[in-house]
Structure 1
Amino acid sequence: MTLIINTLVYEKEIQSGISQLDLVDRIADLGADGIELRREYFKDEDAEIKELAPAIKEKGLLLNYSVPDNIFDDNGNFNQNLNKYYKEAQELGAQKIKFSTGNFYKYHGDLAEDLATLPLATIQTTIENDQTPISGNPDTIFDFLTAVRKAGFNSIFATFDLGNLAFTGFDPNLAAKKLAPFVAYIHLKNPMLNAEGKMQNTESLDRGMFNWKAVIRYLPKDAQCAFEFAMPDDEVIGKEMEKFHDYFNGKR
């Protein structure tokens, strides 16, 4: 099972000033299969992309690109910035790019015509259930991807984000069953309420409100997985990776 490390895993260090480039060697040394870069962590997209692309390629890591933007804006308009994001992904050498839906239900355009403007054949596009009322609703993801298939496009899939379902209040097992036909990527994290009653991700897959092993059984076995929860250091990350691989090496 392919395991990607999303750079949010190093959130505290990112906040202290290190760059995503600083993480490439560390993620490779941990034995991860790939890295998921977050666009919001860039301070200078052009300069950092030029440095990151060869560094990641040299380490032989798979590369996914997380973009914190929507396919549709609040009024249902098709996002005119998408091609810029795809260009960045191509320059990075990304194999996947990830967005949220936005307000698909207000969209009244020609979906086939708008999607045809994007380089969908070169990079696999995935749509994530985020933490907002519309884009975080599994029904929105399902309805959008169903419409995408009817429009004749088979290269757009779902990123199933387990942890985000706690923030939006949806049952993860039901969501997994519904979205399973579209899922190509899985974001693993396990949230719970802290002492102040605020929902937050824990530092371990086995600590939280969800049974990740039960939920993941509903999802495609060939889907890539990514850790997307902050951990304190590489030792803890390594132990979580070991736990993950032990499960998939015969215990699933």
Structure 2
Amino acid sequence: MSTYVLNTIAFKKDLDNGVSQSRLVEKVKQLGFDAIEIRNEFLNGSKNERLAIAKEAQKLGLEVFYSVNDVLVTGDHLNNKALDYVTEMRELNSSHLKLNIGSLSDISKEELLKGLAAILDGQFEIAVENNQTLADSSLAITKKFFEIIQDAGIKDIHYCFDIANWIWLDTDVDQAADDLKQFTTYLHLKNAVRDQGELKTVPLEDGDLNWRALIKKFPFAYDFGLEYAGNAETIANELGLVKEATK
């Protein structure tokens, strides 16, 4: 069964004006989504705010996803903040933690698996995602990471495939999809255009990517998240389009 998620970057103006994400939960529900994706960088850092988000989401029947703009791997070890992020996820009453991979050049396979074993307990899943930097999210890094995960038989780590971010990495999105579809359970959906030489994120229907064709490449995807700043009418309309495309 599919879950449709709205990342709170949808309300970027509110976030930039200091509005707590706890006040955005009801808006996500009203727009027809099943889950809200909370962004770590827009939290105020207090446990009270995280608990308030959890309480509001539970009241409205929304799942919570937790997106952390940080890497899983730092140098030759797992990020020292990883356990903190797991704690924050649980305070949000979430079982979905999303991070970027980071560079694998300095960490051994043994150290990576040891670090993951210390935080994974079978009660939550980690989704690693491609951001817009080659150092953390290149196709080669991602393939290497999942080779290790697959060989070790780890079941609670999946891939969040952001269909537009590959453009920033100058990587063919169709090739990336073909290489990573078997690991992908979550799709981040947005589009991109080049405006005066600069790439910028836009709603699905406003960009250059054939997002409908891309969705069809992922037989194991069951979470679908919209992730762009937009107005309520556009977001509600595109949610309907995504639901139609994922039937």
Residues 94 and 205 of structure 1: CA distance in aligned 2, closer, same or farther (over 3 Å): same
Letter paired with 1:224: D
Pick closer, same or farther for the CA change 1:131–1:222 going to 2, 3 Å. closer
Query: For the Cα contact (< 8 Å) 1:76–1:103, is it kept in 2?
Result: no
Q: Does 1:123 align with 2:121?
A: no
Deviation at 1:139, TM superposition (A): 2.1
Residue 59 of structure 2: aligned partner:
58
Deviation string 1:129-184 (CA, Å, 9 cap, x unpaired) is 11111222122112102102222312111100111111111111111111011101
Taking structure 1 as reference, are residues 246 and 150 closer, same or farther at Cα in structure 2, changes over 3 Å only?
A: closer
Aligned 8 A contact 1:112 1:152 in 2: no
The 5-angstrom pairing of residues 85-234 of structure 1 reads: 85-108=85-108, 109-194=110-195, 196-202=196-202, 204-231=203-230, 233-234=231-232
Alpha-carbon distance change, 87 to 164 in structure 1, aligned in 2, over 3 angstroms: same
Q: How does 1:65-84 map to 2 (within 5 A)?
A: 65-73=66-74, 75-84=75-84
RMSD of aligned Cα (Å):
1.4
Query: Percent identity between the aligned chains?
Result: 28
**Residue type of the partner of 1:199?**
L
Q: Hey, what's the Cα distance between the residues in 2 that align with 1:241 and 1:46?
A: 31
Identify unmatched segments of 5+ residues in structure 1: none
TM-score (normalised: structure 2): 0.94
User: Do the aligned partners of 2:215 and 2:246 also contact (CA within 8 Å) in 1?
Assistant: no
State the distance in 1 between where 2:153 and 2:243 align: 36
How far did residue 222 of structure 1 move? 4.0
Secondary structure (helix, strand or coil) at the match of 1:104 reads coil
Contact 2:5 2:225 (8 Å CA) reproduced: yes
Indicate if the aligned counterparts of 1:188 and 1:228 stay in contact, CA closer than 8 A. yes
The offset of 1:92, in angstroms, is 1.1
Shift of the alpha carbon at 1:221?
A: 4.8
The reply on whether 1:245 has 2:233 as its aligned counterpart is: no
Counterpart-to-counterpart distance in 1, 2:23 and 2:158: 30
- Indicate the SS of the match to 2:49: helix
Residue 11 (1) aligns with residue 12 (2): yes
Structure 2 letter corresponding to 1:240: E
Bigger shift: 40-49 or 185-194? Answer: 40-49
**Counterparts of 1:76 and 1:207 in 2: how far apart (Å)?**
41
